[in-house]
Amino acid sequence: MLQHKELRMTQYNIPTKKLRMGFELPVLGLGTWMMGGDINRDPNNNDAADIKAIETAIDFGITHIDTAEIYAAGFAEKITGQGIKKFDRKTLTIASKIPPQNQRHDDLLRNLDASLERLETDYLDIYYLHQPSLEIPLEETAKALNKAVKDGKVKHVAVSNFNPERLDRLQALLDTKIVANQLHYNLVFREPAHKGVLEHCIEKDYLLVAWRPIRFEKRGNPNAPHKNVWEQGAYPLLDEISAKYKKSNVQTAINWVIGQPNVVTLVKSSKPANLLECISAIDWKLSDEDIERLKREFPGQESVSDTVPMA
């Protein structure tokens, strides 16, 4: 295992996964949910610490930074813009997302411009539909996305929390290839695998960007059976396999996620030691046998996300 004292002054080369069409993403990126607040901006938030966390992640070699318009009511984008400011923009992959209520043609283009302004950048590497709108026609949204790409404001289009049928419908309306579907996926929450999305991503050449790879507890329910991955003894099978590789449970859980074909992931931490623990999850590999064993035997698997189910 890589030791934290060895990592502190080191920039790591994060490997990528590459689609057949040529697009690639690092297997480990940085998420920004809860930077600046939750849905609303927190006036007591330590913005400087969040900016520093982004800078530290990039210093360590993490170049994929993921944010969204609705994170802290747009303020997470401002924090991200400050966090990336001192780095060469061309070396970074910056992603943001637009929520379903803003996916009408003019709203999308206007909100995209606002995101770019908050991020202090001329373009996004990836622009996600954060969730599918069940009210706005995909044709209208696709027309706006096509214009955003044509105008050079968006390099690549992606979706989040889309089922395969809806993703295929959108793809048929776009002039550009969708590159990713961002979904809740980890050892407990298996909706992408149980409902055919992972298989669809492999077949149709999309990346699956997994969020919350190490958050197993059910949100907002202290009596839920799922426990945190880092609690020793909470998951004996995970303890056993982690000990075999001399890794932490966090590292094993992340390695299992990125061990799936076409899957990359996002982590978030303001603590360098925790971030380094996540980075140490990618320089080794679980055996195919152990990947399959965790896939089959890990307890408490859920077929629907407790946070944002697919639609």
Q: Is a pLDDT exceeding 60 seen at residue 222?
A: no
Note the pLDDT of residue 4.
45
pLDDT tens digit string along 69-82? 999 999 999 999 99
Q: Is a pLDDT exceeding 80 seen at residue 9?
A: no
Question: Distance between CA atoms of 137 and 279, rounded to whole angstroms?
Answer: 40
Q: Is a pLDDT exceeding 70 seen at residue 260?
A: yes
Tokens at 135, concatenated: 């009210």
- Is residue 74 helix, strand or coil? helix
Note the pLDDT of residue 302.
87
Which domains does the chain possess?
4-297 (3.20.20.100)
Is the model's pTM score more than 0.75? Answer: yes
Instruction: Please report which confidence band the pLDDT of residue 5 belongs to, taking 50, 70 and 90 as the band edges.
Output: very low
Note the pLDDT of residue 6.
47
Q: Does residue 152 contact residue 112 with C-beta atoms inside 8 Å?
A: no
- Is residue 167 helix, strand or coil? helix
Indicate which residue of 71, 185, 206, 235 is catalytic.
71
CB atoms within 10 A of CB 89: 14
Question: Distance between CA atoms of 121 and 102, rounded to whole angstroms?
Answer: 21
Catalytic (active site) residue 245: no
Please identify which residue in the block is written with the tokens 């994170």.
71
pLDDT tens digit string along 94-116? 999 999 999 999 999 999 999 99
Could you give the percent of the chain with pLDDT greater than 70? Answer: 94
